[in-house]
């Protein structure tokens, strides 16, 4: 029986807790579908061969869209993405600058969801606003699949997720950050020696596995404390030895 396929994204998505909705002028993290100027006609006859997805970090959409207009493209549709989960800061570091993706050469799942959106918008249908907001959720997943299949950088979260061995350790930490992970246990997840694992993880993520886990636990803890949970309970849920250990960790960040 073949080994189950590694799910690189489900635990990450849970840690992001994204909300996506159709929006005319997004201010936050945004996904813009671009078309050639003049092609967004009334009958919706658009061609993926001439379309792009523009991914914009918060507060960059206006300037980024102004730049693409100079290249003969215009914005056909926009989605705003709110990330309510503790892994949001890690995710957003992947998008310090706007990123344009040519949909003609994108991963199949990303191209397919845009094609579905084109088909949906070709006529007015019952329930269309709700359909479109759910399409935004799937568009975000399609983007993430594309970035794993076609990493845009030599290091970073999606580049690491594209590496099957390192991805196993990231999935393990995202799935259960409170587990008492050791370097030996993480290296075993990766099927590598401890030294090789640490070196390769750091090369891909630009941070040591221990520091990444510490940052992840702290982000989870801060979110739980903000939601009103007591330090003792939060420490137990996030892998800290005690409430005082957690308090010191949070104090170091505040300082």
List, for residues 104-141, the tens digit of each pLDDT value.
999 999 999 999 999 898 888 899 888 998 999 999 99
Domains of the chain with CATH codes: 10-149 (no CATH), 163-254 (1.10.10.60)
Model pLDDT, residue 227? 84
The pTM for the full model equals: 0.90
The pLDDT tens digits of the residues spanning 166-179 come to 999 999 999 999 99
Q: Report the share of the chain in percent with pLDDT over 90.
A: 68
pLDDT band at 42 (very low <50, low <70, confident <90, very high): very low
Question: If DSSP states are collapsed to H, E and C, what string results for the chain?
Answer: CCCCCCCCCHHHHHHHCEEEEECCCCCCEEEEEEEECCCCCCCCCCCHHHCEEEEECCCCHHHHHHHHHCCCEEEEEEEEEEECCCCHHHHHCCCCCCEEEEHHHCCHHHHHHHHHHHHHCCCCCCCHHHHHHHHHHHHHHHHHHHHHHCCCCCCCHHHHHCCHHHHHHHHHHHHCCCCCCCHHHHHHHHCCCHHHHHHHHHHHHCCCHHHHHHHHHHHHHHHHHHCCCCHHHHHHHHCCCCHHHHHHHHHHHHC
Q: Is the pLDDT of residue 255 over 70?
A: no
What value does the mean pLDDT take over residues 7-19? 95
Q: Is the pLDDT of residue 86 over 70?
A: yes
């Amino acid at each position: 029986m073949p080994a189950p396929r590694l799910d690189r994204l489900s635990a990450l998505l849970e840690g992001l807790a994204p909300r996506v909705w159709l929006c005319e002028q997004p201010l936050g993290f945004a996904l813009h579908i671009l078309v050639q100027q003049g092609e967004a006609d009334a009958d919706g006859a658009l061609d993926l061969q001439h379309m792009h997805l523009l991914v914009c970090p918060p507060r960059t959409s206006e300037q980024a869209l102004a730049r693409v207009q100079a290249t003969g493209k215009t914005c056909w549709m926009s989605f705003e993405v709110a990330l309510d989960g503790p892994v949001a800061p890690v995710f957003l570091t992947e998008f310090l600058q706007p990123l344009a993706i040519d949909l003609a050469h994108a991963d199949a799942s990303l191209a397919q969801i845009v094609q579905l959106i084109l088909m949906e918008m070709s006529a007015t249908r019952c329930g269309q606003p709700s359909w479109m907001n759910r399409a935004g959720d799937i568009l975000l997943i399609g983007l993430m699949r594309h970035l794993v299949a076609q990493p845009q950088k030599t290091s970073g979260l999606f580049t690491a997720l594209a590496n099957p061995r390192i991805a196993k350790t990231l999935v393990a930490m995202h799935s259960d950050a409170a587990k008492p992970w050791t370097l030996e246990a993480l290296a075993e997840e990766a099927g590598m020696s401890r030294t090789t694992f640490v070196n390769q993880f750091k090369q891909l993520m630009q941070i040591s596995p221990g520091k990444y886990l510490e940052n992840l636990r702290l982000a989870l803890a801060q979110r739980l404390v903000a939601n009103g949970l007591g330090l003792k309970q939060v420490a137990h849920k996030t892998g800290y030895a005690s409430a005082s250990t957690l308090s010191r960790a949070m104090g170091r960040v505040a300082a």
